[in-house]
Amino acid sequence: MNPNKALWEKGDFTRIAETIRDSGRILIDGLDVGPGMEVLDLGCGDGTTALPAAELGANVLGVDIASNLVAAGRARAAAAGLSKISFEEGDASDLMNIADERFDLVVSIFGAMFAPCPCDVAREMVRVIKPGGRIVMGNWIPGDPTLVAQVLKISAAYTPPPPEGFVSPVSWGVEANVRERFEAAGIAPDQISATPTTCIFTYDGSPAELLDLFRHYYGPTMNAYAAAESAGRTEDLHAELRTLFEQQNQGGADNTVIHATFLKVIVRK
């Protein structure tokens, strides 16, 4: 099976997504989404940003590589009574079922960054937006001291080296790479901006319990725990991550609030 698909179907990202719903809504509220707008949410998961866009009246398509998350998105949209939203399985590297220049806005928050072949991803996003349309990406930043960048860094240190030619997802968190990829896809340099931005994880439980969600449901962390177990290093990994979650918590002992920095990329065609 495609390892990228296997990684995300292995867990259940809905369990983590529940802790960032407010940030997803706030992000969409800042994008002037309105009735009649055509919006693609790429790597949509269970619709953290797709549902708020549909609630604002846009016609929304959510595309994700994980069939379990596509099903979860459909279920959430149905439960919310939303009709102008649909979800499809697909790969951000090759949006073969989507016509050129279909969308006004492509949103991809911590989504397309995980697809292999980043230049193909940039080219596909540019292809499917209309002239004058926008692409908005949220990408974790390599080396950033806050939560998810550190989770990915620590997890990678316990996971076997990736195959040759693998491009790290967090390379999308470096502005120079973002510029190179979108300029190669035909975007003018002055139409690309990248700004560090904050998203907030809120969880009604302790930092250790939030870490448990990552351990059991977040693909990259699940793989790190599996590799650490094979190497007899589970306790080391767990201690490192537990310290991280506790240090990052700005809430209380049973109420976790963690601010995480990402690179917000805005591209205009």
Give the interface with ligand SAM as residue ranges (CB under 6 A): 4, 8, 13, 17, 24, 43-45, 48-49, 64-66, 69, 91-93, 109-111, 114-115
Residue 50 or 235: the one with the smaller Cβ distance to ligand SAM is: 50
Q: Which residues contact 85 (CB under 8 A, 6 or more apart)?
A: 47, 50, 51, 53, 54, 59, 60, 61, 62, 77
Provide, rounded to whole angstroms, the least separation between the CB of residue 232 and ligand SAM. Answer: 29
Helix-helix angle 3-10:67-79, to 10 degrees = 50
Provide, rounded to whole angstroms, the least separation between the CB of residue 238 and ligand SAM. Answer: 21
Helix-helix angle 219-230:234-248, to 10 degrees = 140
Provide, rounded to whole angstroms, the least separation between the CB of residue 128 and ligand SAM. Answer: 13
Q: Which helix (H) or strand (E) holds 130?
A: strand 129-140
> What letter does residue 257 receive in the DSSP assignment?
E
Residue 43: how many other CB atoms lie within 10 Å:
27
Provide, rounded to whole angstroms, the least separation between the CB of residue 42 and ligand SAM. Answer: 6
Residue 91 or 240: the one with the smaller Cβ distance to ligand SAM is: 91
Phi, psi of 98 (to 5 degrees): -110, 125
Residue 24 or 251: the one with the smaller Cβ distance to ligand SAM is: 24
CA dist 98 and 101 (Å) reads 9
Q: Which helix (H) or strand (E) holds 154?
A: helix 147-158
Provide, rounded to whole angstroms, the least separation between the CB of residue 103 and ligand SAM. Answer: 15
Taking CB atoms, the residue at the shortest distance from ligand SAM is 45
Residue 110 or 225: the one with the smaller Cβ distance to ligand SAM is: 110
Residue 48 or 150: the one with the smaller Cβ distance to ligand SAM is: 48
Provide, rounded to whole angstroms, the least separation between the CB of residue 82 and ligand SAM. Answer: 16
Residue 10 or 179: the one with the smaller Cβ distance to ligand SAM is: 10
SS3 category, 22 = helix
